[in-house]
Copies of this chain bind each other. A is one copy, B any other.
Amino acid sequence: MEQPSSQHLWRRLERVRRRLDEENLDALLVTHGPNIRYLTNFQGTSASLLVSGNVCYLVTDGRYLTAARELIESIHGPRQTELVSVIHKYEETLGSLLVSSNVVRVGFEAARMTVRTHSSLSAALEQALTGGRAVPALVPTTRVVEQVRILKDDYELATLRAAGRILTTVASNVRRTIRRGRQEREVAAEIDATLRKAGFERPAFDTIVASGPNSALPHAQPTDRALVEGDIVLLDFGGVFRGYCVDLSRVATIGPPSETACRLHAAVADAQRAALATIRPGAWASDVDSAARRVLEENGLGKAFGHGTGHGLGLEIHEEPRIGRRETDREHAAALGSDGLLSSGMVFTVEPGAYEPDCGGVRIEDDVLVTDDGYELLTDVGRELWVQL
């Protein structure tokens, strides 16, 4: 099944509606593309979705009307959803729709809507009012749909498991293509071609192939540097399969690994094992980070680990849960989405790293699913240094 069914969409929508009730909202204006796709299967790049208590309105423009109409009539379409066409500006159409649908408190996605759109929408609401009605209140919300998305449903788990298996196969093939003399860029292009051939729609992000000193930059872009003897080669790539993102990092060396490569790699591998061992429902996300961070600190590499331990995966390559540093006030951090309790059904990366400027860096990354009693690896290919003799 290449798309969730109408039934899946309906169950997701019911979870969103429960959250609206909890927040005392009549409706939610969804403007973030991946949230719209999650609730409707609509994949156009311009649309808004108004979720009210008994009906949804999918608002889009001329470019997508035919596709949206066909979707709504199909077995993969959202139920009880009306199509609204934008004639001139989105904000004007939304303003009229909000007024005519008689909602009083409308949530909007404050972490997604720009200040400018918010002011245009407020102005359009005032304009659309007739006959002394009260202006619908625009209420800032964050993470309403995102907190539903954080727990994957059976369709999503099947898709992410399949994606993880394909990425594992891709990684085994990639391992054989790292050779001295090849440029970072060539290797990256070949990884991207392999991702496509294996069944991914596209790379999930710009593939990283960072060799020698470049490997010390956690987010390096591939250059025309050719791989030479003694190099550490950091590989970080992922693919999008039926809309879902998976992500993996491994490290190769050209010729026998240097002392630095061995030292960094051993510490990072230990850190990843320690992090994985903490994963179970009820643990804090930051516990996973702390476990990795402690191992690296014990190896004198605390400062060499400048990023978080992981990020959620799904329709976006970076989503909740965030697996980052423990903050002083955990409950507060949880309310903001920077920490939280793990639950069965969450999917995220575990990717500690250590980087020594001008020298080199190592990151090992796998994707995991939180299960009822621990975790399941979605990606699984040799975590040792990939030594290319």
Contact = CB atoms under 8 A, between A and B. Distances in A.
Contacts of A45: 219
Given A45-B219, A192-B196, A196-B189, A306 B116 contact: no
A114 B112 contact: yes
A226 interface: no
A211 to B, nearest CB: 15
Contacts of A219: 44-45, 63-64, 67
Contacts of A63: 218-219, 306-307
Contacts of A117: 111
Contact of A110 (B65, B116, B357): B116
Interface in A68-85: none
A51 to B, nearest CB: 19
Contact of A114 (B62, B110, B192): B110
A108 B110 CA distance: 17
A225 B383 CA distance: 39
A152 B372 CA distance: 56
A66 B210 CA distance: 14
A246 to B, nearest CB: 18
A111 to B, nearest CB: 4
A203 to B, nearest CB: 8
Interface in A181-204: 189, 192-193, 196-197, 202
B306 A62 contact: yes
A113 B114 CA distance: 5
A112 B115 CA distance: 7
Interface in A103-122: 108, 110-119
Given A64-B217, A192-B196, 7 more contacts: A44-B219, A67-B219, A110-B119, A111-B115, A116-B142, A192-B192, A192-B202
Contacts of A61: 306
A388 interface: no
Interface of A: 43-45, 61-67, 108, 110-119, 140, 142, 189, 192-193, 196-197, 202, 206, 216-221, 306-307, 355, 357
A132 to B, nearest CB: 28
Contact of A43 (B193, B221, B355): B221
B217 A66 contact: yes
A338 B305 CA distance: 45
A281 B119 CA distance: 33
8 contacts: A43-B221, A63-B307, A64-B219, A66-B217, A67-B220, A110-B115, A115-B115, A192-B196
A355 B257 CA distance: 58
Nearest to A224: B2
The 7 A-B pairs at the shortest CB distance, nearest first, are namely A62-B306, A111-B116, A110-B116, A110-B115, A189-B196, A63-B218, A66-B357
Contacts of A112: 114
Nearest to A200: B189
B115 A307 contact: no
Contacts of A43: 221
Contact of A65 (B44, B118, B189, B306): B306
Nearest to A223: B2
Nearest to A108: B115
Nearest to A118: B115
A221 B193 CA distance: 18
